[in-house]
Amino acid sequence: MTFPTKAKYVIIGAGIHGLSTAWHLAEKIKKNGNGSNNDIVVIDKGGIASGASGIACGVVRNNYFQPAMRELMAHSVKIWESDPKKFSYHPVGYMQISPESMRKDVTTIYEQQKAIGYESTFIEGEKDSAEYMKNMFDDWQAKGITSVLHEKRGGYANNSAAIYGIADKAEALGVKIITGTEVTGFKRGSNSKAVTSVETSKGTIDCEQVVVGAGPWVKTFWDKLELPNKISIKDDKGNMHDNLPMWKYWFLTEGVLGVDPNFQKTNDGKMPPVIHVDSDAPLYSDVDKSLITDKMWGIYYKPDFNFNGVQGGAAPYELSKPAGEVKVDPYGIDSPEYQTTDEFAHMWCSALAHCQKRFEGKINVYHKGPSGGLGCFTPDSFPIFDRFCENVYFIADSNHGYKMIGVGELVADEILGKEKDLLKPFRFNRYEKGELHPTSSSPFPWS
Ligand SMILES: Cc1cc2nc3c(=O)[nH]c(=O)nc-3n(C[C@H](O)[C@H](O)[C@H](O)COP(=O)(O)OP(=O)(O)OC[C@H]3O[C@@H](n4cnc5c(N)ncnc54)[C@H](O)[C@@H]3O)c2cc1C
């Protein structure tokens, strides 16, 4: 493929967002008959799925406390369901299993899922919750659970396979995906902030619109475009807080228990929903019975043939370093600095054993080796979908966006001039306007 010197749309990043945007943009252009599909170029410094999308756990759920997030997820789930085979999507469902301190929040989620027609079952009370879980897994033994939200839709997708599926769809419509090519800078117009060309390690591409879908590398592009690294946020009482950091990094802790995935089948021999348990019950070591924590903890897990075991994670931790000092490269399992630790393995395996007897004594088959990855988070840990510098569209999903396969469809519409209500609650100016999303009592920053 000859390197293009010109393209109407340059999309940076061949992860879920860059490729979903490219695919949908190409599809819409074809449908409208008002352009050429050769106009779309995706550039990635690595390969397809070489960023966060290629290491994600791949969980797809609707369970968000924020109404705007739930509506956005319902839209994305429809796209996952549109071609499960191509997206390596497993629609096994998803369960949020919670203690009393979260019951009110989860009740709201259930009620609003009903209101938007997103199918789920809600069980309340300690006895009924235990019974519901034991009907699914006869070895269920988690303590202090007083509600179970069972989403019948959602599930998980095989991380890289899904991204390759989207890439195929985009390429079939004429999108050029250029890998091994780093975007190094931008040329701007003389009288405006608009980007006129994208500079890369292989040459310069003149363009009309740029989309940044750079996942954990979003700050690089934010800085190149001289966007603010400190911002002001109005809180819910109307007080303004100035000088707050725009970006922060969290490390997502995940791992795999090396058991046959069939080990986690339900009582009736089926593949189970993705399980997410939050708990305030004391968590004891499955190795020596010592107390691991008496504070709120949370884990998620699913049997997964792609990972060859039961795969999942626990709540992430925020890096104490300022964002400007965090080295994102080398990323993921290649990072010498950011990897899950033995402490994570101990906590996660003990928590699995806390929930289900079948996991007792299984820490010895935990897959040792690199896992987990960095994520770049916004000030409120919710996405920013917005246009900057006139013609640069940022998809900054705050690192919980693998599930958001549909965002690219909505962004494609916005790029073609059609504003989308589902994206409006995620504009950058929500911080200074104080139009923030409600926060929940979950131990995870993104729930
Ligand atoms: C361990 C882990 C588990 C996760 N699990 C889940 C989950 O279960 N469910 C969920 O919804 N989300 C999950 N996430 C979050 C999710 O993976 C990300 O939010 C999502 O994949 C981000 O997609 P993206 O397309 O924005 O970025 P990425 O997939 O990171 O793609 C960005 C691309 O940009 C490229 N790039 C960067 N800089 C340049 C440059 N200068 N020039 C050219 N190309 C460049 C990179 O090579 C990369 O391929 C997880 C994240 C991690 C780290």
Closest CA to 26 of 44, 8, 45: 8
Q: What is the pLDDT of residue 149?
A: 98
Ligand 1 pocket residue status of 304, Cβ below 6 Å:
no
Please name which of 402, 325, 319, 313 lies closest in space to residue 51, comparing C-alpha atoms: 402
State the distance from the centre of ligand 1 to the C-alpha of 215, rounded, in angstroms: 4
User: What fold is seen in the domain 94-152+248-377?
Assistant: D-Amino Acid Oxidase; Chain A, domain 2 (3.30.9)
Spatial distance between the Cα atoms of 48 and 165, rounded to a whole number of angstroms: 10
Q: What is the pTM of this model?
A: 0.97
Q: Does ligand 1 lie within 6 Å of residue 255's CB atom?
A: no
Lowest mean pLDDT among 351-360, 400-409, 438-447: 438-447
Whether 233 shows a pLDDT value over 90: the answer reads yes
Which band of pLDDT confidence, cut at 50, 70 and 90, is reported for residue 139? Answer: very high
SS3 297: strand
* Averaged pLDDT for residues 268-292: 98
Give yes or no for residue 129 having a pLDDT over 80.
Answer: yes
Q: Residue 372's closest CA among 333, 318, 424?
A: 333
Helix (H/G/I), strand (E/B), else coil: 208: strand
pLDDT, tens digit, 9 for 90 and up, residues 178-195: 999 999 999 998 889 999
Distance 140 CA to ligand 1 centre (A): 34
Instruction: Confirm or reject: Cβ of 249 under 6 Å from ligand 1.
Output: no
- State residue 34's pLDDT score: 74
- The predicted pLDDT at position 442 comes to 82
Ligand 1 lined by 16 (C-beta under 6 Å): yes
Q: For residue 308, is it left (φ>0), alpha (ψ between -120 and 50) or beta? A: left
What are the boundaries of each domain within the chain?
Answer: 1-91+154-242+380-447, 94-152+248-377
In the CATH scheme, what is the code of domain 1-91+154-242+380-447?
3.50.50.60
pLDDT tens digit string along 213-227?
Answer: 999 999 999 999 999
DSSP letters along 372-421, please?
Answer: -EEEEE-TTSS-EEEEETTTEEEEE-TT--TT-TTHHHHHHHHHTT---T
d(CA 134, CA 140): 5
Average of per-residue pLDDT across 51-79 = 96
Ligand 1 within 6 A of CB of 69: no
CB 393 within 8 A of CB 414: yes
User: Token match 């809180």: residue?
Assistant: 235
Phi, psi angle pair for 409, to nearest 5°: -70, -40
CA–CA distance, 109 with 149 (Å, rounded to integer):
9
Cβ-contact 384, 6 below 8 angstroms: no
Q: Is the pLDDT of residue 1 over 90?
A: no
Tens-digit pLDDT profile for residues 141-184: 999 999 999 999 999 999 999 999 999 999 999 999 999 999 99
pLDDT of res. 338: 96
Distance from Cα 51 to the centre of ligand 1, integer Å = 4
How high is the pLDDT of residue 37? Answer: 60
- CA–chain centroid gap for 429, Å, is 22
